[in-house]
């Protein structure tokens, strides 16, 4: 039993293999949070303290007891209006136009299996792998319910949380703020780790102390965004990769979000994750409900590496779906950086022929194949194959590419429209534009109103008509601007549109994965602008960044690795000098960095010399050797490329018999000092052989003293060790 209700103590404990989460229904029916941390049994309500504190009010039924205050007690689902003046998880505007919600315990149920969420992505599990706790809270005055859901996956040290607001009151209400996950920690000093960035430089890790006042990150863009990722970590001040307590929250959602962390007046920490409050006011008529997306939570008492590994395992095996979830993904060549919009059917076939000759397994036709799309000025929305440009039908092109022994994949951007398109001329009201205002343009395009079913249905039909023209085995689903000018002609309230947009997107994707179960979908939003756990439910890999420079990628992939598994990280070898940074790097360095994700190429192969082509052939053979280890192995960060001389990481097989350690030099100095790379996750005091050199190493010494990275000539040199257990 992973969920235990103690009738006497009124505690509910959620146990996983290594962690325990505990709450208590207290004497007034408030649901208090008691404990989240290492596995522990018994009742932890001794952690609650009661003192008479100035300006911290008391619920009426506490009578003359001035020591009982919601302003200081740790809670599971704090709402505005109970006397808790900290940042609430929920704000509801009631029928009487007040903003008070006073949720009290009504009942709870425990059941086998993991709950699912209609219309939303969510972690899934067999009945034997998970349990669900449902706690019903009610505001006794309005009758509004908050139904808290907890999914417990013991083997994964994961607890998920979602909440449903049910309007069981007699009138119209509006949900102004909703954060399904709240974590109140009564003691301790924590750092807030967030992943900030920009287009082409996503998910830089920032670690800052949680102070008094609230640190808030989030996205107002209608998507999870390049600027902040919807996943955060609270780590003890002195927590490292290998030691210390840390808590992670990953939002399984692709729309606007916010996460808030702060210390209250008594130095207690609160962490929240939920919908972005801006432009959010979700209307509920009597009988209607709003189900929030879920948050994946995990705790590690053994530092950040273990925390990340918990996320990786859960996301890879219980969130990603479909045929390619566990299979090694095909090595692809993408046409974008090879020729951008400038191609013909002949030039595509020439690229494909060269790719096939090198051993590449799939050809991906990127932007520019449809409508009038010879530049980004026009064409989005017109999903008709440009046969004139291709010189043949799509079906014929695919047949030719299949004939070369390669799979075929195609780029789409279904959520968008250019003003210069047939679709926009016919349905100008389908794009987000506020009547009477001129819209914000971004990359010359507008966003289609996916909160409207007829818009989703129409685009879905157009896209299916393309996919049905041949043997398409891969889709790159792109999304190249942020939402603005939110106005939906048919909505009863504009405060619902941003969330309904995401629901429309998920509805489209769900239909697509069901209709084409054999197609691998790669998510993309100008690279990693929508790299989140929500998208990974539909697209098991996401183009990590439009920046393919391997040295910048060290940092981008480092930040990404805190939450997301390598199997989800789209990474390609591109040209040198790099198109984004003009940096010159070797094919070896580019290959090694791309091999730490779902591997592919994105450059004009026909411009390469014979030597480089041979190198690619060797690279492909090598990748095939290690692909399963990269995709399923346990991941360790060995350095911090944001501050260290090297970017280094490691994949260890589940049985710990094999490890791949990869390192890329960043800074180069004269008369170099030597960097020692400390190798992790191997069996204790066991001999391992480096298969490249044949040299034997002791695993404990590898961890404690490290292995010297050879000082190689030139900048940005890559090196790797492949260790195999000797016994
Ligand atoms: C985005 C993607 C790129 C490419 C272009 C095509 O920027 O991230 O990989 O597909 O769009 O327009």
Pocket test for ligand 1, best of 201, 370, 526, 544 (most atoms within 8 A of CB): 526
SS (H, E, C) 551-619: HHHHHHHHHHHCCCCHHHEEEEEECCCCCCCCCCCCHHHHHHHHCCCEEEEECCHHHCCHHHHHHHHHH
Q: Which of 419, 500, 532, 552 is catalytic?
A: 532
Pocket flag, ligand 1, residue 602 (CB < 6 Å): no
Q: Which of 326, 387, 422, 612 is catalytic?
A: 612
pLDDT at site 613: 98
Question: How far apart, in whole angstroms, are the C-alpha atoms of residue 267 and residue 273?
Answer: 20
Kindly tell me the sign of the dihedral angle through the C-alpha atoms of 33, 36, 39, 40: negative
Pocket flag, ligand 1, residue 527 (CB < 6 Å): yes
Tell me how many helices (H) and strands (E) the chain has: 13, 39
Nearest to residue 373, comparing CAs of 382, 362, 363, 364?
382
- CB 279, CB 486: distance < 8 Å: yes
Kindly tell me the sign of the dihedral angle through the C-alpha atoms of 201, 232, 229, 71: negative
- CB 159, CB 33: distance < 8 Å: no
Pocket flag, ligand 1, residue 591 (CB < 6 Å): no
The bridge status of strand 676-677 relative to strand 181-185 is: unpaired
Pocket test for ligand 1, best of 342, 367, 370, 598 (most atoms within 8 A of CB): 367
- CB 486, CB 493: distance < 8 Å: no
Pocket flag, ligand 1, residue 546 (CB < 6 Å): yes
Q: How many residues does the chain have?
A: 727
Map residue 337 onto helix, strand or coil: helix
Pocket test for ligand 1, best of 332, 339, 366 (most atoms within 8 A of CB): 366
- H-helix or E-strand spanning residue 215: strand 213-219
Judged on CB neighbours under 10 Å (0-12, 13-18, 19+), 642 is middle
Map residue 351 onto helix, strand or coil: helix
Neighbour tally for 337: CB within 10 Å: 19
- CB 168, CB 151: distance < 8 Å: no
pLDDT at site 1: 78
Tokens (6 digits) for 548: 């393919």
Ligand 1, atom 7, residue with closest C-alpha: 526
Asked about 532 being catalytic, the answer comes back as: yes
Who's near 42: CB < 8 A, 6+ residues apart?
A: none
- CB 362, CB 474: distance < 8 Å: yes
Residue whose tokens read 């051993």: 359
Asked about 522 being catalytic, the answer comes back as: no
Neighbour tally for 33: CB within 10 Å: 24
pLDDT at site 369: 98
Tokens (6 digits) for 191: 């750092």
Q: Give me the DSSP letters along 363-391.
A: EEE-S-SBTT-SSTTS-TT---B-HHHHT
Q: Does residue 100 come out as left (phi exceeding 0), alpha (psi in the -120 to 50 range) or beta?
A: beta
Q: How many Å is the Cα radius of gyration of the chain?
A: 26
Map residue 62 onto helix, strand or coil: helix
pLDDT at site 668: 87
- Residue 244 DSSP code: B
Question: How far apart, in whole angstroms, are the C-alpha atoms of residue 115 and residue 259?
Answer: 24
pLDDT at site 415: 99
- CB 476, CB 410: distance < 8 Å: yes
Neighbour tally for 14: CB within 10 Å: 21
The bridge status of strand 190-198 relative to strand 201-209 is: antiparallel
Question: How far apart, in whole angstroms, are the C-alpha atoms of residue 499 and residue 276?
Answer: 10
pLDDT averaged per 10 residues, the chain (length 727): 96 98 98 98 98 97 98 98 97 98 98 98 98 98 98 98 98 98 98 98 98 98 98 98 98 98 98 98 98 99 98 98 95 98 98 98 98 98 98 98 98 98 98 98 98 98 98 98 97 98 98 98 98 98 98 98 98 98 98 98 98 98 98 98 97 98 94 94 98 98 97 94 96
419 C-alpha vs ligand 1 centroid, how far in Å?
19
Q: Give me the DSSP letters along 401-470.
A: HHHTT-EEEEEE-TTEEESSSHHHHH-GGGB---TTSPPPPBTTEEEB-TTSHHHHHHHHHHHHHHHTTT
- H-helix or E-strand spanning residue 304: helix 303-318
Ligand 1, atom 8, residue with closest C-alpha: 526
Strand ranges, E, within 243-306: 246-251, 257-263, 269-275, 282-284, 289-291, 295-300
Distance between the two ends of the chain, CA-based, in angstroms? 38
Pocket flag, ligand 1, residue 524 (CB < 6 Å): yes
């Amino acid at each position: 039993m992973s969920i235990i209700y103690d009738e006497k103590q009124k505690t509910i404990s959620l146990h996983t293999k290594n962690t325990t989460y505990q709450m208590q229904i207290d004497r007034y029916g408030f649901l208090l949070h008691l404990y989240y941390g290492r596995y522990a049994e018994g009742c932890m309500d001794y952690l609650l303290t009661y003192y008479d504190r100035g300006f911290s009010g008391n619920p009426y039924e506490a009578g003359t007891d001035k020591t009982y205050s919601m302003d200081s007690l740790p809670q599971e689902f704090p709402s505005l209006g109970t006397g808790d003046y900290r940042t609430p998880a929920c704000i509801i505007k009631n029928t009487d136009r007040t903003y008070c919600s006073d949720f009290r315990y009504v009942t709870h149920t425990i059941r086998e299996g993991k709950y699912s969420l209609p219309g939303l992505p969510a972690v899934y599990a067999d009945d034997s792998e998970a349990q669900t706790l449902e706690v019903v809270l009610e505001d006794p005055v309005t009758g509004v319910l908050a139904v808290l859901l907890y999914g417990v996956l013991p083997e994964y040290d994961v607890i998920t949380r979602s909440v449903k607001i049910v309007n069981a009151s007699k009138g119209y209400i509006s949900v102004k703020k909703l954060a399904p996950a709240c974590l109140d920690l009564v003691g301790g000093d924590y750092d807030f780790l967030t992943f900030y960035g920009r287009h082409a430089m996503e998910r830089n890790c920032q670690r800052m102390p949680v102070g008094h006042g609230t640190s808030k990150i989030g996205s107002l863009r209608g998507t999870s965004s390049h600027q902040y990722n919807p996943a955060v970590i609270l780590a003890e001040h002195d927590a490292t990769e290998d030691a210390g307590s840390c808590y992670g929250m990953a939002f399984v959602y692709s729309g606007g979000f916010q996460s808030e962390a702060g210390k209250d007046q008594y130095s207690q920490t609160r962490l929240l994750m939920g919908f972005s409050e801006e432009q959010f006011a979700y209307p509920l008529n009597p009988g209607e409900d709003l189900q929030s997306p879920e948050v994946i939570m995990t705790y590690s008492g053994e530092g950040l590496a273990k925390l990340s590994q918990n996320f990786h395992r859960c996301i890879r095996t219980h969130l990603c779906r479909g045929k390619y979830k566990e299979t090694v993904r095909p090595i692809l060549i993408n046409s974008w950086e090879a020729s951008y919009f400038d191609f013909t059917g002949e030039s595509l076939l020439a690229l494909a022929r060269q790719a096939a000759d090198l051993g590449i397994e799939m050809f991906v036709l990127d932007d520019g194949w449809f409508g009038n799309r010879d530049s980004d000025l026009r064409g989005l929305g017109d999903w008709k194959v440009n046969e004139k440009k291709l010189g043949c039908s799509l079906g014929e092109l695919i047949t030719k590419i299949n004939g070369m022994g390669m799979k075929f994949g195609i780029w789409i951007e279904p959520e968008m429209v250019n003003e210069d398109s047939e679709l926009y001329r016919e349905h100008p009201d389908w794009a987000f534009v506020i009547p009477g205002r001129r819209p914000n343009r971004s990359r010359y395009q507008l966003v289609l109103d996916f909160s409207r079913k007829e818009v989703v249905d129409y685009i879905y039909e157009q896209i299916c008509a393309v996919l049905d023209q041949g043997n398409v085995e891969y889709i790159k689903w792109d999304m190249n601007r942020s939402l603005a000018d939110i106005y939906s002609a048919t909505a009863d309230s504009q405060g619902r549109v941003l969330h309904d947009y995401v629901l429309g997107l998920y509805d489209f994707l769900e239909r697509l994965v069901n209709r084409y179960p054999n197609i691998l979908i790669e998510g993309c939003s100008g690279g990693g602008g929508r790299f989140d756990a929500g998208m990974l439910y539909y697209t098991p890999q996401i183009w990590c960044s439009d920046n393919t420079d391997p040295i910048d990628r060290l940092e981008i992939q480092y930040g990404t690795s805190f939450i997301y598994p390598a199997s989800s990280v789209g990474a390609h070898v591109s040209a040198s000098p790099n198109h984004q940074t003009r940096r010159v790097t070797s094919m070896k360095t580019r290959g090694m960095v791309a091999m730490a994700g779902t591997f592919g190429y994105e450059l004009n192969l026909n411009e390469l010399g014979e030597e480089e082509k041979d190198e690619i052939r060797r690279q492909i053979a090598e990748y095939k050797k290690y692909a399963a280890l990269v995709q399923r192995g346990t991941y360790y960060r060995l350095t911090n490329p944001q501050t260290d001389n090297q970017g280094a990481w490691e994949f260890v097989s589940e049985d710990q018999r094999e490890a791949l350690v990869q390192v890329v030099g960043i800074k180069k100095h004269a008369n170099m000092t030597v960097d020692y790379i400390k190798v992790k996750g191997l069996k204790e005091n066991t001999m391992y052989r480096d298969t490249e050199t044949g040299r034997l190493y002791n695993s404990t010494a590898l961890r404690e003293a490290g292995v010297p990275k050879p000082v190689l000539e030139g900048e940005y040199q890559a090196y790797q060790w492949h260790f195999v257990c000797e016994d």
